[in-house]
Each structure stands twice: as structure tokens, then as C-alpha cells.
């Protein structure tokens, strides 16, 4: 038998002989489903109520089970693995990720499916525990002060000195994001970090030339 015949027989054997085990598939899918449910509840607990999307959470959790099935199918037969590579290469996902934390959970879900499909059950449980502890720890990690935007409408530019002096008292480090002066007065948008932001707004509103003072939580990344 020549070398070409050996290669040909090995390839044909890989194409025709399935390596699928029903018991292994049930165990892998069962463990993956349990971890997926765990990810579902962790995401529900961590995500904010205002931005929580149940359909995204369900889809994200079930991605783990689907990925596990794909990995098991790819291990079973070489033809299926090549077909999967071709099929997945033409798939395009265009759903925008609104929250950075959603991307973390999405990768966690996909990696769970891959690890369960590979049969590394101890690893998938360890990853779940470490991810949970890391997320909870970093979520409750205290910061110096929350970022806020103070929007001030004054009747005259003369009030700017009093406004800035009060802002400096509550937030030594601040940044004027916008300043608009017109015939009807002055508008200021100031970025601050203060634990007493509400008291700051109350004191600003007491200035005679200030018509209104509003406080907004600045939820975007802030460069220091």
C-alpha cells in the first residue's frame, strides 16, 4: 500500500466513521444548560433594571447550548466540521451591543459552549465562579465620586464668578464642557465629580441671577 493510499483511507475513514456518543452529548448539553441558566440569573442580577432586555438575556444563555452542539458535531465527523466552518464564515451579526457589560456576558456564554463541547466540565465551572466573583467585586469597588453634568441657566454673565466659586467648593476638579452667552443670558454645562452633587445644585439655585440648575448623571467614560 502506497503513502497516497494510506492518506486516502484515513481521510475516508474520518469522513465515514462518526465519533458521536449520545451519552457524552447529553452530559455536555445538560451541564452547558445548567451553566447557561446560571449566566442568565447573574446577568439579570447585574444589569440595570432600566436597560434590562429579557430577549437578549435568553438568547445569550441559549447561545451556549447551540455552540456546544456545534462543537460536538464538529468532533463527530470531518465533513460536518468543514461544513460548519463554511456555514459560519458567511454568518453576519449586525445587532449593536449597547452596554459594554453585555459584550462580556456574550463572550462568557460563547466560551461556555466551547468548553462544554470540549468536555472540560471542571474548567467551565471554574470559569463561571471566577467571572462571577470578578464582576461582583469590580461592580462594588468604590470610586472617589460619580461623574455628573451640571446644567446652569443664568440671566447674566455676571453670575459666572459666583457659579464657579460654588462649583470649586464641592468639586475642586471640574471642566466646562459648554458655554453659551446670548442676549437672554448665559448657559453653562460643567462636568464635575462630587459626592455632594445635589447640595451643589441646591446652592447654585439660590444665586439671584441663576434661573435654573439641573443635574445629570454622566454615564459615559470620563478621561482624567
* DSSP string computed for 89-123: HT--------SHHHHHHHHHHHHHHHHHHTT-HHH
Residue 203 maps to a domain: yes
Residue 223 maps to a domain: no
More confident site: 160 or 109 = 109
Beta-carbon neighbour count of residue 35 at 10 Å? Answer: 25
Write down the pLDDT at residue 36: 92
Beta-carbon neighbour count of residue 218 at 10 Å? Answer: 16
Write down the pLDDT at residue 17: 46
Examine the domain organization and report whether 59 and 83 are in the same domain: yes
Examine the domain organization and report whether 134 and 153 are in the same domain: no
Examine the domain organization and report whether 69 and 163 are in the same domain: no
Examine the domain organization and report whether 74 and 178 are in the same domain: no
Question: How many domains is the chain partitioned into structurally?
Answer: 2
**pLDDT of residue 122 exceeding 60:** yes
Find the domain containing 199 and state its range.
147-217
| Among candidate residues 113, 140, 167, the one where a domain is terminated | 140
Residue 222 maps to a domain: no
> Residue 125 — pLDDT band, cuts 50, 70, 90?
very high
Amino acid at each position: 500500500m502506497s503513502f497516497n493510499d494510506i492518506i486516502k483511507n484515513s481521510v475516508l475513514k474520518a469522513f465515514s466513521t462518526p465519533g458521536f456518543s449520545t451519552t457524552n452529548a447529553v452530559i455536555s448539553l445538560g451541564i452547558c444548560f445548567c451553566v447557561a441558566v446560571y449566566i442568565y440569573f447573574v446577568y439579570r442580577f447585574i444589569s440595570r433594571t432600566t436597560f434590562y432586555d429579557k430577549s437578549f438575556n435568553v438568547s445569550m444563555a441559549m447561545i451556549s447550548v447551540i455552540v456546544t452542539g456545534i462543537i460536538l458535531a464538529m468532533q463527530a465527523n470531518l465533513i460536518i466540521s468543514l461544513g460548519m466552518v463554511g456555514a459560519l464564515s458567511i454568518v453576519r451579526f449586525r445587532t449593536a451591543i449597547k452596554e459594554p457589560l453585555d459584550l462580556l456576558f456574550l463572550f462568557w456564554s460563547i466560551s461556555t459552549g466551547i468548553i462544554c463541547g470540549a468536555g472540560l466540565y471542571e474548567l467551565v465551572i471554574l470559569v463561571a465562579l471566577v467571572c462571577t466573583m470578578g464582576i461582583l467585586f469590580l461592580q462594588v469597588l468604590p470610586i472617589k465620586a460619580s461623574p455628573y453634568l451640571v446644567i446652569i441657566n443664568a440671566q447674566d454673565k455676571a453670575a459666572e464668578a459666583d457659579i464657579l466659586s460654588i462649583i470649586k467648593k464641592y468639586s475642586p476638579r471640574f471642566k466646562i464642557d459648554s458655554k453659551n452667552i446670548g442676549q437672554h443670558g448665559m448657559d453653562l454645562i460643567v462636568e464635575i465629580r462630587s459626592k455632594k452633587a445635589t447640595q451643589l445644585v441646591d446652592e447654585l439655585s439660590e444665586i439671584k441671577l441663576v434661573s435654573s440648575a439641573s443635574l445629570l448623571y454622566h454615564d459615559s467614560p470620563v478621561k482624567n
